[in-house]
A and B are shown apart, each in its own frame.
Chain A
Amino acid sequence: MVLEAILIGLLGAIGILDGRIFGQMMFERPLVMGPLVGLVLGDFTTGIIVGATLELVWMGIVGVGSATPPDVTTGGILGTAFAIMTDSGAEVALALAVPIAILAQSLGILVRTINTSFIHRADKYAEEGNTKKIVLMHWLAVGLFFLNGFVPNFLGILLGSEVVEGIVNAIPQTITEGLQVAANMFPALGFALLLQMTFTKKLSPFYFLGFGLAVFFGLDITPVAVIGAIIAVVIYQLMPTDKDKEVLL
């Protein structure tokens, strides 16, 4: 179990560092972390499926602007891991992942607060023209983020599995079934969050167009995306033309 805990801890660190020093390549998302957790714990397929479920739930949760969102990396990793370790489905994963993500969020907030001291010291080194020390300040903060990812996931696996198993077995059926209902509703929250970013009165018909294409014609996401891209390009061309338009492309 210690080896597994270390490996899962490292996955957590990679996930958190993805948005920090790997340019946010999306390794942090449950859709990617789920299968990796499955690989470590010996149940690849469950990892993939639970990862997909949690991704859907948290689709809209992403660090936009200055806010620190719920930690979907740690929530996703531990949720998936506990679902595999207790042999239960995605609804248990969700029930555990949501509070874990909120708890881990406060850890992330703590790190971002402590990091303020590093930039103050960097100010001093900038004054001296000492780039080596500035780089060191940067890496110290990276180190904190590493711990931010490693520690909760490592401890979660090491200490949590038996506790979690006990809790899972004690949950009454109405609650697990209710959690399944909640799990099905959660993606709506994700889409509502995405709408917050893009929805305006003027653009609203396009949202209902996408909905209609899927519901009435039974189209998958890929064909809808292709149709959407064509519509977007056509509308771009129809908008008032000017000769400098090519500059962007």
Chain B
Amino acid sequence: MEEKQINHQMDAGQDELVDKKTLRRVFWRSFHLQGSFNYERMQALGYLYAMIPILLKLYPKKSDLAAALKRHLEFFNTTPAVSSFVMGISTAMEEKNAREKGVFDSSSINAIKVALMGPLAGIGDSFFWGTFRVIAAGIGISLASQGNILGAILFLVLYNIPHFFLRYKGTFWGYNQGTTLLSSLYEKGNMEKVSYCAGILGLIVIGAMTGTLVQFTTPLEISIQGAAVNLQDTLDQIMPNILPLGLTLLLFLLLKKGIKVNYIMIGIIAVGILGKWAGIL
């Protein structure tokens, strides 16, 4: 039902109250999303901070403004990089609310925000944290570990090109066609397709990094009938880097079992020291 309302608004999108300049301010302010992060409502105050220029423009009457300000102080949490898209959608809906006062169901503004933040966080996390950042860091680390400053620079550039592009464009996509775009993506299952394929790319890169960046070997020698057999050589013959792969999958299982990261970190240090002391690592 909400979708119908919004589609109707998109069609009737003449006399816009919000100009490009104000939307651009929302884009810049979206960088502040987590500036006042708290455990109760997470990114809510940062979200409102980004929306304030819009709300001031739309609601000259104090009581309308107060209602709108309270609306955007509700719980919000998503991947920061995709937040500007949701802000664009909120802007379009607030504009409609201001224009059709009393007719528009203002509670749908929050309903859409809440409905979007989960799926968008899923897609945003897998794109930005799981794919862009991982690839950029992988390339950056391999240069930087040789003492090359280009590693850090390339890391920043490779990550921030898609970041700035999507954050900027997202603001306007959200405003102009956000809800139609999203509903068509959902209906046709394209959203799942895109995140599925991002997952493929991310996993391939993580697999390659497991094979190249984890250096985990054993100096252990087993004597069989008097002859010393180097265990690592034997393992390498079965499959190169089988130990790093096994270790990664083991830790993955531990995490899946719900063991906390901090405990695993301390455990690794203990295993490292004990293993060295016992001469098996």
Interface residues of A (CB under 8 A from B): 19-27, 29, 31-32, 34-35, 44-45, 48-49, 51-53, 55-56, 59, 61-62, 64-66, 69-70, 95, 98, 102, 112-116, 118-119, 122-123, 125-129, 131, 134-135, 137-142, 145, 174-175, 177-189, 191-200, 203-204, 206-216, 219-222, 224-225, 227-229, 231-233, 235-236, 239-240, 242, 244-245, 247-248
Task: Flag if B214 contacts A174 (CB, 8 Å).
Answer: no
State whether A185 and B272 are in contact (beta carbons under 8 Å apart), knowing that A66-B42, A119-B40, A195-B252 are contacts in the complex.
Answer: yes
B167 CB to closest chain A CB, in angstroms? 7
Residues of B contacting A: mostly: helix
A83 CB to closest chain B CB, in angstroms? 14
Task: Flag if B203 contacts A210 (CB, 8 Å).
Answer: yes
Task: Flag if B152 contacts A135 (CB, 8 Å).
Answer: no
A174 CB to closest chain B CB, in angstroms? 5
Task: Flag if B151 contacts A102 (CB, 8 Å).
Answer: no
- With a CB–CB cut-off of 8 A, which chain A residues contact B189? 240
Task: Flag if A20 contacts B205 (CB, 8 Å).
Answer: no
State whether A220 and B188 are in contact (beta carbons under 8 Å apart), knowing that A112-B39, A141-B36, A228-B200 are contacts in the complex.
Answer: no
Interface residues of B (CB under 8 A from A): 30-42, 44-46, 48-49, 52, 55-56, 62-63, 65-66, 69-70, 73, 77, 80-81, 121, 125-126, 129-130, 133-142, 144-149, 151-152, 155-156, 159-160, 163, 167, 181, 184-185, 188-190, 193-194, 196-216, 239-241, 244-245, 247-249, 251-252, 254-256, 261-262, 264-266, 268-269, 271-277, 281
A64 CB to closest chain B CB, in angstroms? 5
Q: Jot down 16 A-B pairs with beta carbons below 8 A, ordered by A.
A: A21-B32, A25-B163, A26-B136, A119-B36, A119-B38, A123-B73, A127-B70, A182-B268, A187-B213, A198-B126, A199-B203, A211-B210, A214-B210, A215-B211, A215-B240, A221-B209
